[in-house]
Amino acid sequence: MVLKDKVAIITGASRGIGAAVARNLNGAGMKLVIAGRDADALSAVAAGLNDSVSVVGDITAPEMPAKLIAKAVQAFGQCHVVFNNAGVMQLGPTEKTDIDKICEMVRINTEAGFRMAYTAVKYFRSVGGGHLMSTSSVLGTKVRPGGGAYAGTKFAIEALSEALRMELAQTGVKVSCIEPGIVETNLCDHLEVHPKKVFNVKKALDPDDIARSVRFILEQPDHVLIPRLLILPAEQGI
């Protein structure tokens, strides 16, 4: 895909991976609809972009995915890419688990992710093409003690993405997942021990590393699809 003048929706765009992807794709000439819950943070990201519109709102609201597609069509006439990225992380042993926070994570990572995915591919089918990319994780491929709930949300995204990929293989609609390892974002700030210490990783990935990977997937020619891309710090043994 030649990215210049193409249109992308990015959820979870107010910081971290979403913000980095927004900057990278905008730098390639893409027009963007960026979404997030934090109005101030989203505004700060938007200030550094051209040809972008912002939508502040809760991704778990059932109407939000359709609202984002409608905003892209209203602002730019169409949508070519949906980067389904909004997510949170809850890890820890069972005795410290807050079930309400776990269920909130499931609503954001899985329910909202599913709603965005289905809404995107239905739109792409209607216009004859497009690319849905979702943020999974290395924990969408394996589990670890204390991380089962989070891994479960990412396994779910992996399963849906693979099923959609097969279903849509001859429709012009592409479906991909990225699977980051440890990334320097605020996702882990609330954890008692940062995963970098757990895995003795001195240099974690930067969000810009993930953004380059997203762009790499999108820039493949029409006949090439990268369904999954695992991106790890060189020191992370997995």
Catalytic residues: 150
The total of other beta-carbon atoms located within 10 Å of residue 74's CB is 10
Residues 6+ apart with CB under 8 A from 199: 182, 235, 236, 237
Task: Say which residues have a Cβ less than 8 Å from residue 109's Cβ, sequence separation at least 6.
Answer: 87, 88, 150, 153, 154, 156, 157
Which amino acid is residue 10, in one-letter code? Answer: I
Length of the chain: 238
Residue found under tokens 């905003």: 71
